[in-house]
Every structure is written in C-alpha cells, then in structure tokens.
Amino acid sequence: MNRFLLARPDAVLRAEGVRASFADPTAAVAALRGWRDGGSARDGSPGLVVGALPFDPREPAALWQPETALHTTGPWRPAALPPLPQMRVVARSPSAAEHVARVRKLVERLADPADELRKVVAARSVVVEADEPLDPEVLAGYLLTRHPTANVYAVDLSVAGRAAETLLGATPEVLVTRHGDRVSLHPLAGTLPRLPDAEADAAQARKLLSSSKNNDEHGFVIEWIRQQLAPVCAELHIPDGPELLSTEQVWHLATPISGVLRDPSTTALELALLLHPTPAVNGTPFAAALDAVTADEQRGFYGGAVGWCDSNGDGEWVVAIRGGELSADRRVLRASAGGGIVADSDPAEELAETTAKFRTLLAALRCELPER
C-alpha cells in the first residue's frame, strides 16, 4: 500500500492508499481546484494531494490522492525502534577523485566570462547495502531521533513507475508553505562542515557568514526566489542578508522569507512548481544549470520536493535533500549529496561538504562512511 509521511517539527501528515495518481503535476493542480469548487472529493476520500516532485521537472512526478490521511499537530514521537541490521557502503558514484575533477572543470567553465553559467550544483552518491530488508518507517524514526528539528519524510514512489522504491530523508530546508494567503520559505545555500572543537566550530560559523563565495552562492538563490514570487505576491519580505542555521553536520546560510499572495486561490503545489528546483539544488541561470546537472547526473528524486496540498490550496513542501532512495527489495539505499559550485569554489572543500552532508543520513543509520 502506498504510504506517505512528512514529519515536521510542529506537525505530522500520514497518508495511505491511492485513489488517483498524477504523473503530471498540472493535472494534480486541476484536481485540487475541482475538489475545491465541488466542496470536497466526490468519492468521500480526502481532497488532498501528497507525494514528491523529481529534481528534473521534465520527469514524471510521484503525486497521488490518498484513500486516507491523518494530520496531527505537534512533533512525531516514534515508538520503540527495533535494532537496525548491519549496513555498509559498497559503492560511490562518482569516486572522490572523479568528483574533485568534475568540480575543477566546472570552476573553469564558471570562470569563463563568455559562458552564461554562474552556479551549478554538483552531487555524488553512495550505495549502502543492508544484511536484512529495511523498514522505511523505522529508518524515518531513526532519522527523527537523530535530527529532531529536521523535516523527516518517507514517500512511496510506486505511482511514478519506480516499483516499490521509497524516498526518505531528514531535510533542514523548507521549499514553501502556504496557509491561507500567507507564504513562507526558508532557503539554504552556502555551507561549511561543523567542527568537533567548540571554539573552532564557532570560528567556522563566522567564516561562513563572512565568506564572499558562500554569500554569492546564497544570493543567487534569493534573487531567483524574488523573481519567481514577485508576480504572485502582493507583499514579499526578504531580509537584507542571511543568518546562520546549523545541523549536526554543517553550518548553512539561511534566509527566512514571507509573503502575501495577490490571488488567494494560488495553491501550495503551484508555488512549489514555480520555485522548484531553486538554484540551491540546481544552479543559475535555470536552463543552463539544469542542462549541466542532467548531462552528468541521474538524480531521480534527490533534490526534488516532498509535500502535500489540500483542496483549500494550503500545503507544505520541503526540499528532498539529506536522504536517499530505498530499493524495492529494501536492501539497497542510494544516498546523494551535493554542493553549489561557483567560480571561486575549492574542489577539495566541495568534496568535504558532500561528505559532511552524507553523514546526516548515514550516521543516523549507524553506517560508517569510509574516508576513501
């Protein structure tokens, strides 16, 4: 049975079953509007769409109307979690050396004034094998236990033709939420790994906040969001500069953004489609970055978006990072991590950033990431 879980720090949505599926997100928007105009879904099932958007908007989405849904306030508190089976990293794609070489080539391209590309997000993957099948909900529970302030997700991808694969993770990034005519976002871009020594870690945070490279990278994201939302928001509040946000593994530059819709009928799903993928996971300009990413990577739903939207247009969407895709037999987990590359990026530092991001998932699952 198709299942959906999005556990945010202040609310949890669970859904099960499939009444209708939507590979084309615009068909899901049309269904939501039809349910709104009709008062509810005609068959009595929830007037709700849940699921995931792939990284590449040209690929099929995994969106569906569930048979049942339960929305609760407050944090998710998993019951006692069973022990995890042994897991090990068995492959990397590309290798560390290959990733460094790719970043180096991208830096050369980004430094060319004749090239329109200004930022591109380069990602790599590791493949984890388990001795026994993994339960997606148990994995989500371990992620939440390790990262209680993250947005934990577990989404069945079957409706996108991905057998019984499951997308799961613990993301710190909110793509967009819409409640009534109010819109909010919390984009992240610009990252440095956390350090074990408290004094050095504090210095690392200050370094990130003052880094021209990371502020430029963050600025591309904020400007994209401004351009995308200005036509649909009567009010848009964007701070002059970013603030620091920390996870267990990394420091981020973050900017809280809020707005008021011009047209209250604009749905959360439409806003997600308008914004996704942001330069935080893609790059800039949009088309050139998307071409650069897809030429080298098969991202699937990594860097996509997970969320829900109801017939009132309200909804919440988070960026599908700090996670992976679990295979149909539940024995293989492919985890991905990326970093934004700009003209003054250091390839070795970019490799270290992806390594730190991998640990969000792998450390929670008690799986070591070998140095080489």
Task: Judge residue 263's burial from the number of C-beta atoms within 10 Å of its C-beta, 0-12 exposed, 13-18 middle, 19 or more buried.
Answer: exposed
217 flagged as catalytic: no
173 flagged as catalytic: yes
- 119, 270, 325, 353: the catalytic one is 119
Nearest of 366, 349, 369 to residue 358 by alpha carbon: 369
Nearest of 149, 250, 171 to residue 207 by alpha carbon: 250
- 108, 129, 173, 325: the catalytic one is 173
Helices of type H across the chain:
25-38, 96-110, 136-146, 198-210, 212-229, 268-275, 286-296, 347-364
318: its two tokens: 């988070």
Task: Judge residue 283's burial from the number of C-beta atoms within 10 Å of its C-beta, 0-12 exposed, 13-18 middle, 19 or more buried.
Answer: buried
Hey, CA dihedral for 112, 115, 118, 121, is it positive or negative?
negative
Three-state DSSP state, 177: strand
Nearest of 36, 58, 55, 61 to residue 47 by alpha carbon: 36
Instruction: Give the separation between CA 329 and CA 11, rounded to whole angstroms.
Output: 30
Give me the residues paired with residue 56 across strands: none
Q: How much is the CA Rg of the chain, to the nearest whole Å?
A: 20
* Active centre residues (catalytic): 119, 173
